[in-house]
Amino acid sequence: MKKVFAIALVLCMLMGATAAVAEKLTVSAWDANFNIPALEAAAADYKANVDPDFELEINTVSGSSDVENDMTTAGSSGDYSNLSDIVLFQDHYIQRYVADYPDAWVSLEGADINWDDFGAEKLSYSTINGVHYGVPVDNGTAIFAYRVDLLQECGYTIEDVTGITWERFIEIGEDVYAKTGKYMLSMDGSGNDLPYMMLQAEGLSQFKDGEPFITQNEAMVKIISLLVEMQQKNILYLANDWTGYTDQTIMGDQVAGVMNGNWIIPTIEQVAENSGKWEITTMPTLTGAEGYAANGGSSLYITANCKNPDLAKKFLAYTFGGSTETYDNALRNGGVITCCISAGQSDVYQEGVDFFNGQAIYSKIVEMGSHVPIVEQNDYHYTCRQYIGAAIQEILMGSDVETALQNAEDQLRFAMGL
């Protein structure tokens, strides 16, 4: 009898341990002030409304490269045992990693997610060969933020810089600089996010059919020429590096406009005395139509090490798949803006933001994100960005546009092994 009881006790303990494991997931992500609060909001939401025994263990890493390095190590060895159940991964890198290590990932097929509730451009990164692999988290939709007080000082309103051509933008920018000494645009000279966003707003990519699309891309040539003209006319400020772009240019109060992924908002908000003086709108374009683009962003992916992929799918589907509670608290606590269109219609998203002159910027950003065009992506996105940035510097030093862009294209083709 004692033996039977002991066996039953052991079985109960094992079942309890299994249940405990089944209710817990691990996730690796970076940025304690941004992504981590979003994950904490999701865990609290799921625990309160779905499963009181649920636990999410968050492994906070220093940056996205840590996750990428872990995936490379695991994929190269075929040993996924040290990976978290779920990882946050940069949108621009995921397709390469799925191609290189197809066994490292668990698809989200079967997850109860309304994929039509997300912007098509955002999903284009994590949907590979028609299969969904990731659930979007942070919204990378580009904004153009303007100091409306400075525009007003020069006789303009936010409407005057909405739905305009880049040529008209230059005219306004010259006037603003002459009257205020402020630049209408700035850029990290070594990073150059602007050409990519400006090109995407035209519905075009730096790649075509898997190859560089630079010198034969009339829109690209025109955009680079415009950026050079803006710099020469004191409309565009080229900072030496990223710190110069954020700290000296934006927080240093040298600009009347900022164009980047909406994650730049917390940087803008660092200058407290400018509260109420900003508003956001869409981008100018070559044609004068309102421009939509995205820059940056990430999604959550289930790894091959996950012992309970069904739980992982349920957790991701319920929370980042569309929960208003998750996204409201992610916005409140970390500034993460949803990619889920319906979640962006909540009361929290409709609230006016004092810093942005009472404008309901968060609902506007979600709506803008639904219009971002899908353009061809490539594993060499950041390599291309590097060479385009170098080309801009060459032109400013005296090279002609065609020669500089040809050099960039040649170097990119060599890097790609073409």
If asked whether residues 312 and 388 sit together in one domain, one would say no
Strand segments, DSSP code E, in 62-196 are 86-90, 105-106, 127-128, 131-132, 134-138, 142-147, 185-188
| Domain assignment present for 320 | yes
Judgement on whether residues 97 and 227 belong to the same structural domain of the protein: no
Helix, strand, or coil (residue 83): coil
Do residues 64 and 120 share a domain?
A: yes
Q: Specify the pLDDT at position 6.
A: 46
Tell me whether strands 236-239 and 185-188 are parallel, antiparallel or unpaired: parallel
Residue 55 belongs to what H/E stretch?
A: strand 55-61
Give the predicted TM-score (pTM) of the model: 0.86
Residue 361 lies in a domain: no
CB 104 within 8 A of CB 316: no
**Structural domain that includes position 248:** 142-293+373-415
Query: Do 130 and 220 have their domain in common?
Result: no
| pLDDT the model gives residue 22 | 58
Indicate if 58 and 129 belong to the same structural domain.
yes
**Cβ-count burial of 62 within 10 angstroms (0-12 exposed, 13-18 middle, 19+ buried)?**
exposed
What residues does 257 pair with on adjacent strands? 146
Domain count for the chain, please give it.
2
| Tokens 């409407």 found at | 159
Q: What is the pLDDT of residue 5?
A: 41
Any domain includes 330: yes
Number of residues that make up the chain:
418
What residues in the chain have per-residue pLDDT under 50? 1-21
How many other CB atoms are there within 10 angstroms of residue 360's CB atom?
A: 14
Q: Tell me, yes or no, whether 363 lies in a domain.
A: no
So what's the pLDDT on residue 382? 87
Shared domain check, 212 and 87: no
Residue 353 lies in a domain: no
**Phi-psi map region of 398: left, alpha, beta (phi>0 left; psi -120 to 50 alpha):** left
Say whether both 163 and 227 belong to one domain.
yes
In a domain, 264, yes or no: yes
Same domain, 63 and 191: no
Cα–Cα nearest to 159, from 41, 252, 281: 281
Kindly state the tokens that stand for 238.
């080229």
**Beta-ladder partners of 26:** 57
**406 and 281 in one domain?**
yes
Task: State the residue for tokens 């100091």.
Answer: 147
The 10 Å Cβ neighbour count of residue 377 is 18
| Alpha-helical segments (H) within 154-200 | 166-180, 194-200
Look up tokens 């079967």; give the residue.
Answer: 110
**In a domain? residue 382:** yes
- Residue 412 CA to residue 50 CA, distance in Å, equals 49
164 contacts 288 by C-beta, under 8 angstroms: yes
CATH number at residue 23: 3.40.190.10
Q: Which residues lie across from 86 on neighbouring strands? A: 27, 302
- Give the pLDDT confidence score for residue 191 in this predicted structure: 66
Whether 367 is in a domain gets the answer: no
- Whether residues 149 and 95 share a domain: the answer is no
Query: Do both 104 and 243 map to the same domain?
Result: no
Same domain for 101 and 208? no
Return the SS3 of 135: strand
Specify the pLDDT at position 19: 45
